[in-house]
Structure 1
Amino acid sequence: MTNSHGIHVIDTGFVRPHLDAAYLIVEKGRGAFIDCGVNHSVPRLLAALADAGLAPGDVDWLILTHVHLDHAGGAGALMQQLPNARLVVHPRGARHMIDPSRLWAGATAVYGEAEMQRSYGQLVPVAAERVVEAPDGHAVELAGRRLVCLDTPGHARHHNAIHDPASGCVFSGDTFGVSYREFDTAQGPFIVPATSPSELDPPALHRSIDRLVALQPGAIYPTHFGRLEPVQRLAAQLHEQIDAMVAIAVAADCAARDARHAALRAGLRQLYVGRALRHGWSGGEDEAARLLAIDIELNAQGLGVWLDRRGQRPS
């Protein structure tokens, strides 16, 4: 999928169709990828490049919103195919691209070696001289087209959103939530906040969403999945849900660890499925819960980590 501003939406093939996107921006025969999926996604990105009439040597940038593996797991393998590209990443994430061993170890501890190889493939390091650290406001030029990195914590402390003034759009990574095309109805897209481990900060997430809205973008492109509008209405839904999720977490906080996680999962399932039904979803509660299962689990984990960190703060 593409639009008049040279923005190509690429399905990375991670887990299921229309779950995980990368974006290719084409300007005057030069290209920039935003996010890249996993190692297994690389052939899809190269095919999209060819479909756009570009060769690997025409790509100047791979810009990562953050280094979670569904966004950045294939970065090293993709960079091996792009001889002239440099990788742009938040300063907190740069070291993990140069030496991804800690990313691999942390994820393997959760998912196991076999699942890591099946879903992601072995992480490949990126040479330090090809990595560009992008603090807040850092801009890169794509054939004269400015792409501006905006520090947008809340989902993760190492998160940048990418503002593209030429199109009037923002590439939001996970800051502006997740929206799966299966839930589109006559009411428009359905959206859920992304509060996965381990750096959830609800007040910061509220501020980051407001910062993106203040740019008055015509549309938002989250990694999950594709172009979203109207921005103001979706932002209001995100704010409302973040507050509801915090309330669910606080209510569950007195329970023992296993019971707390179960309560978080149950509360999030009720919140998301209920919203989907009110949004016009007609596929049934169980199917909605199945499609949102990854987010229910990861968001419950993220809220649990946030509660633990919150409990350690001095009163």
Structure 2
Amino acid sequence: MDLGRGISIIDAMDLGKEKRTGCYILHAQDLTIIETCASPSIPYLLEGFINLGIDLKDIKNIIVTHVHLDHAGGVGLLLESCPNAKVIVHPRGMRHLADPSKLILGARAVYGEKFDELFDPILPVPSNRLLVKEDGDTLQIGEGRILTFYDTPGHAKHHFSIHDSLSNGIFTGDTIGVFYPQQFDQGIELYLPSTSPNQFDPDAMLDSLEKIKALEVDRIYFGHYGMTDNPSHVYAQIYKWLPIFMEAGEKVWKDKQDDSNETKCEALFQKLFAEIHSFLSDKECTLDQEMTEIIKLDLSVGSMGIIDYLAKKYHK
């Protein structure tokens, strides 16, 4: 899909679902890709490049907002087809792309027996093809087109967001939430915070939101999924939902303090799904089976992140 201002998005068909995770192409003198999704998505990206008339030898930069596998798991595999590309990553993420063993262990703990289907294979990125960008660093990819990198923790400590000067837009990965464009078709703009384990920090997330808000961008490009030109609505929804998520987590933690963290996660998931379902029902918005599955997955993983955060907070 052509998003205008020299940017296209390829649907990576994450989880086999449309409009779940996207790969962005910045059509510039130095052709640049933002996000790769997981390895099972790479065939869809390669097909998308062909449809766009992109020669893989012309790709100069592959940027990952953070190293969670649904955003960067396929970068090693994609790189094998892009002989002239460098991979640009947050300083905290570099070692995990060079040696993804810890990422694999962490993801197996979250996704269990579904891991291979969702993420395999995960290939290391040669260290000589990795490039780190610190907070405030820039990258010129064409005449009058500069990317600026901003450290934006909250979802993960190894997360940066990338401002594009040409579109005055910012690629936010998961820092300020997930966009559900399927509901937009029903007139509902739904953005929910992404609170997955194990580095979720609500205070850092709000600080990152404030940093992004101060840039006064015209567009936000989400890892999940697509673009909005209504940034103020995004900020308002994260301000709304993040406290709801945290208050629900605190209540579950208090009410079930003698139960296992697994039991707490399940109770929190049920509570959050009821909140979202009620919100959408009040707006006469229906959830089909696929959207129900997507939101349930996000809330299930998000509940793990909140309970993990609270366990660290209360040292249990």
Shorter-chain TM-score range:
over 0.9
Secondary structure of 2:60's aligned partner = strand
Letter in 2 for 1:274: S
Change over 3 Å in CA distance of 1:184–1:13 after alignment to 2: same
SS of equivalent residue, structure 1 residue 253: helix
TM-score by length of 2: 0.93
Gap change, CA 1:287 and 1:85, over 3 Å in 2: closer
TM-score, length basis structure 1: 0.93
Decide whether the 8 Å contact of 2:182 with 2:291 is kept in 1: no
With 154-163 and 48-57 compared, the bigger mean Cα shift is at 48-57
Aligned to 2:296: 293
Deviation at 1:252, TM superposition (A): 1.1
Do the aligned residues in 1 keep the contact of 2:188 with 2:285 (CA within 8 Å)? no
268-277 or 221-230: which moved more? 268-277
Distance 2:11 2:282 in 1: 28
Partner-residue secondary structure (3-state), 2:309:
helix
2:25 maps to a residue whose letter is L
Q: What's 1:117 paired with?
A: 116
Structure 1 position 308 matched with structure 2 position 311? yes
- In structure 1, the partner of 2:268 is 264
**Which deviations, in whole Å up to 9, do the C-alpha atoms of 1:193-232 show, x marking residues without a partner?**
1001111110110111121122111111111110123111
Aligned to 1:274: 278
- The alpha-carbon deviation at position 48 of structure 1 amounts to 2.3
Distance 1:27 1:279 in 2: 41
Matches within 5 A, 1:150-299: 150-185=150-185, 187-254=187-254, 255=256, 256-257=259-260, 258-283=262-287, 289-299=292-302
Q: Equivalents in 2 of 1:3, 1:103: separation in Å?
A: 32
Give per-residue Cα distances to partners, 1:121-159, cap 9 Å, x unaligned: 221111101101111112122123211111000000110
Which stretch shows the higher mean deviation, 123-132 or 184-193? 184-193
- Partners of 2:128 and 2:26 in 1: CA distance: 23
Deviation at 1:290, TM superposition (A): 3.0
Structure 1 equivalent of residue 135 of structure 2: 136
How many angstroms apart in 2 are the aligned matches of 1:201 and 1:133?
23
In 1, Cα distance between equivalents of 2:101 and 2:160: 22
- 3-state secondary structure, aligned to 1:227: strand
Contact preservation (8 Å) 1:148, 1:162:
yes
* SS of match in other structure, 1:199: coil
Distance in 2 (CA, whole Å) between partners of 1:259 and 1:38 is 29
RMSD of Structure 2 on Structure 1 (CA): 1.8
- The answer for unaligned runs of 5 or more in structure 2 is none
Amino acid in the other structure paired with 1:110:
V
Shift of 1:181: 2.0
How far the C-alpha of 1:188 sits from its partner, in A, is: 4.3
Q: Distance in 1 between matches of 2:213 and 2:140?
A: 23
**Which residue number in structure 2 is paired with residue 126 of structure 1?**
125
Q: Does the alignment pair 1:25 with 2:29?
A: no
Contact 1:35 1:65 in 2 (8 A): yes
Structure 1 counterpart of 2:307, one-letter code: G
Aligned-partner Cα distance in 1 for 2:120–2:266? 31
SS state at 2:166 partner: coil
Select between 262-271 and 17-26 the one with higher mean Cα deviation.
262-271
* SS of match in other structure, 2:192: coil
CA distance in 2, matches of 1:198, 1:161: 19
Count of aligned positions: 310
> Which blocks of at least 5 consecutive residues in structure 1 are unaligned?
none
Residues 1:40 and 2:40 aligned together: yes
Matched residue SS, 2:191: coil
Give the whole-Å Cα distance in 2 for the aligned partners of 1:197 and 1:14. 19
> What is the aligned partner in structure 2 of residue 70 from structure 1?
70
Give the whole-Å Cα distance in 2 for the aligned partners of 1:260 and 1:132: 40
Find the aligned partners of 2:231 and 2:26 in 1 and give their Cα distance. 21
Q: Distance in 2 between matches of 1:158 and 1:251?
A: 29
Amino acid at match of 1:17: E
- CA deviations 1:217-269 (Å, max 9, x no partner) are 11111111101231112211111110111111111112122442232112211
One-letter amino acid matched to 1:233: H
Confirm or deny: 8 A CA contact 2:252 2:264 kept in the other structure: yes
User: Which deviations, in whole Å up to 9, do the C-alpha atoms of 1:267-312 show, x marking residues without a partner?
Assistant: 211222122223441347x775433111110111001001011112
Aligned partners of 1:220 and 1:116: how far apart in 2?
30
Quick one: distance in 1 between partners of 2:205 and 2:118? 28
Specify the SS of the correspondent of 2:293: helix
Structure 2: distance between partners of 1:300 and 1:150:
27
- 1:7 counterpart letter in structure 2: I
